[in-house]
Amino acid sequence: RALRWASGRAPARGLRASPRARTAMPSWVIDRYGSNEVLRFTRDMVFPIIHFPNEVIIKVHAASLNPIDLSMRSGYGATALNMKRDPLKLKTGETEFPLTLGRDVSGVVMECGLGVSYFKPGDEVWAAIPPWKQGTLSEFVVASGNEVSFKPKCLSHTEAAALPYVGLTAWSALNQVGGLNQGNCSGKRVLILGASGGVGTFAVQLMKAWDAHVTAVCSHDASTLVKKLGADDVIDYKSGNLEEQLKTLPLFDFILDNVGGSTEKWALELLKKWSGATYVTLVTPFLINMDKLGVADGMLQTGVTVGSKTLKHLLKGVHYRWAFFMPSGPSLDEIAELVDSGKIQPVIDEVFSFSEVPKAFLKLEGGHARGKTVINVISRQ
C-alpha cells in the first residue's frame, strides 16, 4: 500500500461529512431467521456511522450472494456471530435484527475515519465484510479500512463484486493455511473438489496463476467452464465412483475440499505420504457446534475434533487442516494485481437488480451455480 502513496494518491485528511445529513437508507433486511419469506425491503434502515478511526463508509454499487448468506438467513452460526457482535454482552435486550445480509461489495468511498490514510472519498474500492457486521445488500455499508482494497481497474463494479468473499476464502485455504504461494507451486499436483462454485473457480485460476498442475472435480455440464479457467484434468463426479476415478491418477501434493461430507473419509488417501502434502477443508463443524452446544462447549468440542483429526493424519504422513474466510485488504491488494494482470477473472452465473434480491436468493438456493450471483445495487454497472 505504500506504493499507492508513492503513485500520488493523497492520504485522507481525517473525518469527512457527507454532503447532506442522512438518517436512513434503502436496504434488504431480515427481522427473524427462516426461509426466503423473511427477507424484507425497507427504506428506513439506519444509516451506517463511523464508530472507529479506521473505518470507512462505502456507497455500494454492486454486491453478491454466497452460500453463507443462505445459511445466515436460516440462523446458522448465530451463537458465534452474536458473541462476536457483543462479546461483553453490553447490549442486553437488543438483538442482531434488523440484519442486513451480503458480504461482497464494490463501490465508492464516501467518508473516512480519522485514522484512515490509504483511502479518500471518491476512491473506487472492493471488500468482503465479515459476517458479524451489517452486510452489503444496502445503499451504504461501513467497513474497517484494513478490510478494504482498491478495486481492480479492469473490472466494472458488477464484475468486481463477484470476487472478494470467494477470493479471500480460497486465499485463506491455499495461502495462509495451506502455505502455497507463487514461489512453491510450480509442478505441484493440486486437487480441487467442488471446482465450479465461487471458491472453486477462483482456486482453479489462482493455482494456475502460480503454475500448479490442477485436477478439478465438478459435474459434466460445468467441465467446459472449468477447463476454460485452466484446469489440466477435469473429473465428472457423476460419471462413476469418484474415489475410484481419482485413485487412477498420480498422488497429489495438495487437496482443497469445498464439498465435505463423505469425501473427507477417503480424500486424504490420495495425498503423497511423508512429503508435506496437505488436505484443507472449508467444510467444518465449528459454527454448528457452537449453535448446538453453546459457546464454551462448542469451542471445546471443535478443539477436540480438529486436534484428533490432525494427529490421526499426521501419523499417516499427511497434514490435515481447516480453513475459514478471513477479511483482509492486503490480500485483496494481491488479488487485484492478479486480476489486473489478466490471471484471474470473475465468473458470474447471473446478475439481478436490487429489487430482485429475493429472486437472487432463490436462484442461489437452487444450487448448481456456475460462479457467482451478483446484485446491482445501482443500475447500469
Topology match between the domains 24-164+345-376 and 178-322: no
Mean pLDDT computed over every residue of the chain? 93
The full set of domain ranges for the chain reads 24-164+345-376, 178-322
In the predicted structure, residue 168 carries a pLDDT above the cut 90: yes
CATH architecture of 178-322: 3-Layer(aba) Sandwich (3.40)
CATH of 24-164+345-376, one of 1.20.140.10, 3.90.180.10, 1.10.10.10, 3.30.450.40: 3.90.180.10
In the predicted structure, residue 172 carries a pLDDT above the cut 60: yes
- How many Cα atoms within 13 Å fall on the side-chain side of residue 204? 29
Residues 369-381: pLDDT tens digits? 789 999 999 975 4
Give residue 28's pLDDT: 98
Mean pLDDT across 227-247: 96
Neighbours of 150 (CB within 10 A): 20
In the predicted structure, residue 6 carries a pLDDT above the cut 70: no
- Report the SS3 class of residue 98: coil
In the predicted structure, residue 279 carries a pLDDT above the cut 70: yes
Residues 174-230: pLDDT tens digits? 999 999 999 999 999 999 999 999 999 999 999 999 999 999 999 999 999 999 999
In the numeric block, the cell 467452464 is attached to: 225
Give residue 302's pLDDT: 94
**16-20, 289-293, 316-320: range with lowest mean pLDDT:** 16-20
Q: Output the DSSP codes for 304-359.
A: HHHHHHHHHHHTTT-EEEE------HHHHHHHHHHHHTTS----EEEEEEGGGHHH
Residues 19-43: pLDDT tens digits? 445 789 999 999 999 999 999 999 9
Highest mean pLDDT among 86-100, 162-176, 278-292: 162-176
In the numeric block, the cell 466494472 is attached to: 156
In the predicted structure, residue 317 carries a pLDDT above the cut 60: yes
Residues 92-110: pLDDT tens digits? 777 899 999 999 999 999 9
- Report the SS3 class of residue 60: strand
* Residues in the chain, total: 381
In the predicted structure, residue 5 carries a pLDDT above the cut 90: no
Residues 102-132: pLDDT tens digits? 999 999 999 999 999 999 999 999 999 999 9
